[in-house]
Structure 1
Amino acid sequence: MSEYVIEMLNIRKEFGGFVANDNITLQLKQGEIHALLGENGAGKSTLMNVLFGLYQPDGGEIRVQGEKVNISNPNIANDLGIGMVHQHFMLIDIFTVTENIILGSEPSKAGKINIKKAEEEVRALSKRYGLAVNPSAKIADISVGMQQRVEILKTLYRGAEILIFDEPTAVLTPQEIKELIQILRNLINEGKSIILITHKLKEIMEVCDRVTVIRKGKGIKTVNVSETNPNDLASLMVGREVTFKTEKISAIPGKEVLIIEDLVVKDSRNVTAVDHLNLTVHAGEILGIAGVDGNGQTELLEAITGLTKVDAGIITLNEKNITNLPPRKITEIGMAHIPQDRHKHGLVLDYPIGMNMVLQTYYKRPFSNNGILKFDVISKKARQLIEEFDVRTPDEFTIARALSGGNQQKAIIAREVDRNPELLIAAQPTRGLDVGAIEFIHRRLIEQRDHGKAVLLISFELDEIMNVSDRIAVIYEGKIVATVDPKETTEQELGLLMAGGKRTEEGVPS
């Protein structure tokens, strides 16, 4: 009997002449967590979509428990005990947890769905694997972390023994990441085997047994995690040495670009989310906002960018009152916005990536003339930005949906930075990105600062906030509770402040 539960041998996958997987081999052992590591666009998701039956390989073979198989669709993958938890969840908001889990595999009696029986099964599964999900809750009412648990339960309900996780921590808070890592360990203790697609080297070192590195569609190396380190993995992934610490000169703050005074914003439930908040961002500085998710960051962002109504207070940009102005008017006054949800607010996914790069400027010259779009000019501009920002795409006509998450993010950053804004708002700018792309984006943010622009960075990644910011404002329950110098604080101090601790005169939270 083979020592491997899954063998993907010399897998090749092409898309119209573009080779996404170039004879890659990956072998998964029983009871291990095996990381699949690579840059954005390296071919990781494509390889796993081949394993799950969403794509058909153009070469190579797949073996399950030593037997050669033909996985022509996801139903066959499910029958073989393979389940996949996708990066972008496939859930129906108005359905309950149980309804989503049983969809397509409904238990029935006399032609009627037995929801009570299904809820009991979901509750038992949830308890067995330490998932703690309410079977009767509606998807629309639960957190992103809980939605991911529902996706995991969907695979377990269908009998999966081999689970594929595609960037599972990309949308999670630090606390949810810790909980997920424990869930992965619970799954392994129950005899499952896991393939984990991730960019996060710390997670690989913490939870994985082996790692296969791929680069530009080719398999580079498989190594034991116990015999490697983050620096070596980063170098294997991008083909060069990667700097984890962003080098920058000290900031020279200039005029006040963004002034927020006594701001009050209510959330969708009409509860105060931003509570008389005051904040100032200067030209030539990066102000980072640190806080646990759910403390008003989203509502603050949406208020500044015109996506939600301000209930009280004033927002001033370049000495102009922009409170409750439409988003386009705000951008024309000098604001650019890298949104925290690139799919919802950053891109039109079924438009070509070239058209997405002029979403903020398509109605202006030289991209249009009297309302008529000039497609040749748009294409030329898109090609320039694709090259300058290293967006990995076959061409500017490829739809945005077809690009990897990291390359979608690079395209948004290219569009926003190219407009030369006075204020750049960057919300979770490196979420789901590999270390090479993170290094690139951090450099771009610092370049904006060095060109005299104001940068407002909102991130749940404390090391990012510490590494990139010139000042850090801590948000807690909708208020700025402290402003600190990153050179004079620690992650521990920030963590305590984020949890509601107060600073003493000595600078230590109480």
Structure 2
Amino acid sequence: MTEPNLLLSLTNITKRFGALVANDDISLDLREGEILALLGENGAGKTTLMNILFGHYVQDDGIVRVRTDAEGMTTLPPGSPGAALAAGVGMVHQHFTLAENLSGLDNIRLGTEALLSFGQRATARARIEKIIAVSGLEVDIDRRVADLTVGEKQRVEILKALYRDARVLILDEPTAVLTPQEAEGLFAVLRRLAANGLGVIFISHKLGEVLAVSHRIMVLRAGRKAGELTTAEADRRAIADLMVGKALAEVTRTPGSIGKALLEFDNVCLGKPSTRTALRQVSFKLRAGEIVGLAGISGNGQTTIAALLSGLAVPDRGTLRLYGQPMTMTSPRRLVEAGVARMPEDRQHDGVVGTMSVAENIAIEEVRSPELSRLGFLDRNAMRARAESAIAAYDVRCPGPDAEARLLSGGNVQKLILARVLEREPRIILANQPTRGLDIGAQAEVHRRIIAARDRGAAVLVISEDLDELFALADRFLVVHAGEVAEAGPADTLDRATIGLMMAGQSRTTEPLAQ
């Protein structure tokens, strides 16, 4: 059997940003019909490498070669997206680059030909319909992009690349905005495209998806190539250990001891009903000793629920009850004083003040407490002592308590927030996207701490777009769709398919399979 043709070769790629070496002597090959999964923790160098391939960045060393015809490989000039496109390299970013007011057809043609040419439009339609038939990328190309679902918009993006005769397709976190059913549909399309000779590079942090769709796995760690595995010989543990560089202890969750309701939403409405982020008569309870997972596609009301729980918004109608009493005039400060803590979605901008020290950020929500202030003056020694204790307990990697928070990595900023939130032993915790962008080791530590908080009696609401994370943590599921929240039930009675259908707006009408 002859080996499939080499489509792409990156050789000894090095890229520096000042003193930071983002890519250190990395080589990568991709062959016809191959789906290569590119993995690595946040900051490992995946996106930098793909931006070099696509011409957005110029490498300091190394070469990029692409097969442009049957004769052989062509070296791409550094820093030229046009040359990459012409050589058959297509890239679909996590955040789509579509003109919402144009049809799918015109978006696919945009940048390649005159949109007003009727003759070209008819020819383009016939060609696109042929690509759809071959690839299985079903979408109504005559509808405005603004009226398409997220999954349909992604198909338009892939069709754009195929219309430009892409031989290599790069997908950056392609399932981050999809339901499980839409993700399965994408995988079916990728398998079909690969069978027709396309080479695919699939960037993801979801190990289950990587094992389901890829042929080969390449792992980056700290800017270097940590290793490669054939998917048939790989498992979650082997991949995770390669990503982190050491064996990871498993986090286990046992059933909790559920107590009384600590916080209640009672027919809460907020925002204009015509917007997806508005809430429509939302009712649910958070109970002591329970982790509730809130699942949903991004932009369906999660941000509004988080704002209400953080004291950043008040309902237009309906009632919020804290410890059985209606919440009326509230604020973030009052909620903190009442034992409500939050891990914000955007930890860099909403979680810490970058120019303040680690010690100041840990103390920032308790500066009026008698432990940290005397006669109206901050006790800097007490703040520093508390920070040193938290740094040790939560393994915050930093130069010390006086270091500015902006110097910390994303994972260490999250550990800092964990220390600030959990050391006060709050009664209610909002964990909004608690491990987004974190490596597997940091994820495991965050999960362990959240479960420990539940075990001591806290009520926890975890908002996450990662169903694997929710199934690892949640005792009970809620699902939000278009501003409405539905009770899905105990986690051990659910499966991904059931949750995925509810995320898409379908009611739970059949008995779910066991998880």
Question: Would the TM-score normalized by the shorter structure come out above 0.5?
Answer: yes
**Cα 1:295–1:49, aligned 2, differ >3 Å: closer, same or farther?**
closer
Match 2:193 to one of 184, 187, 190: 187
In the alignment, what sits opposite 1:151? 157
In the alignment, what sits opposite 1:10? 12
**Deviation, structure 1 residue 82:** 0.8
TM alignment of 1:178-217, pairs within 5 A = 178-217=184-223
| Cα distance in structure 1, aligned partners of 2:289 and 2:10 | 50
**Deviation, structure 1 residue 462:** 4.4
Residues 477 and 487 of structure 2 are in contact (CA less than 8 Å); yes or no, is this contact kept in structure 1? no
**Cα 1:151–1:441, aligned 2, differ >3 Å: closer, same or farther?**
farther
| Cα distance in structure 2, aligned partners of 1:94 and 1:352 | 38
TM alignment of 1:392-411, pairs within 5 A = none
> Which digits, 9 at most, give the CA deviation of each residue in 1:76-107, with x for residues without a partner?
11111111112232334444434444443332
In structure 2, stretches of 5+ residues that fail to align are 68-72
TM alignment of 1:76-155, pairs within 5 A = 76-107=83-114, 122=128, 124-155=130-161
Match 2:246 to one of 229, 240, 261: 240
Residues 264 and 311 of structure 1 are in contact (CA less than 8 Å); yes or no, is this contact kept in structure 2? yes
Q: CA RMSD in A?
A: 4.8
- Greater CA deviation, 182-191 or 469-478? 469-478
2:170 matched to 1:164?
yes
| Cα distance in structure 1, aligned partners of 2:273 and 2:434 | 24
**SS of structure 2 residue aligned to 1:455:** strand
**Cα 1:230–1:55, aligned 2, differ >3 Å: closer, same or farther?**
same
TM alignment of 1:432-447, pairs within 5 A = 434-447=439-452
Give the aligned length. Answer: 490
In the alignment, what sits opposite 2:326? 321
Q: Quick one: which amino acid aligns to residue 162 of structure 1? A: V
- Greater CA deviation, 259-268 or 413-422? 413-422
Match 1:464 to one of 460, 469, 490: 469
**SS of structure 2 residue aligned to 1:90:** coil
In the alignment, what sits opposite 2:495? 491
> Which digits, 9 at most, give the CA deviation of each residue in 1:326-368, with x for residues without a partner?
667656755444456x4xxx6549x98557999999799599x
In the alignment, what sits opposite 1:24? 26
**Deviation, structure 1 residue 25:** 1.3
In the alignment, what sits opposite 2:430? 425
TM-score by structure 2 length?
A: 0.76
**Deviation, structure 1 residue 16:** 0.7
In the alignment, what sits opposite 2:293? 288
Q: Quick one: which amino acid aligns to residue 81 of structure 1? A: G
In the alignment, what sits opposite 2:225? 219
| Cα distance in structure 1, aligned partners of 2:40 and 2:249 | 17
| Cα distance in structure 1, aligned partners of 2:289 and 2:447 | 15
In the alignment, what sits opposite 1:49? 51
| Cα distance in structure 1, aligned partners of 2:417 and 2:171 | 25
In structure 1, stretches of 5+ residues that fail to align are none
Residues 462 and 491 of structure 1 are in contact (CA less than 8 Å); yes or no, is this contact kept in structure 2? no
Percent identity, please: 37
**SS of structure 1 residue aligned to 2:264:** strand
**Deviation, structure 1 residue 220:** 2.0
Q: Quick one: which amino acid aligns to residue 221 of structure 1? A: G
2:456 matched to 1:454?
no
**Cα 1:497–1:190, aligned 2, differ >3 Å: closer, same or farther?**
closer
**Deviation, structure 1 residue 271:** 8.8
In the alignment, what sits opposite 2:79? 72
**Cα 1:81–1:497, aligned 2, differ >3 Å: closer, same or farther?**
closer
Residues 94 and 172 of structure 2 are in contact (CA less than 8 Å); yes or no, is this contact kept in structure 1? yes
**SS of structure 2 residue aligned to 1:107:** coil
Residues 394 and 415 of structure 2 are in contact (CA less than 8 Å); yes or no, is this contact kept in structure 1? no
**SS of structure 1 residue aligned to 2:291:** strand
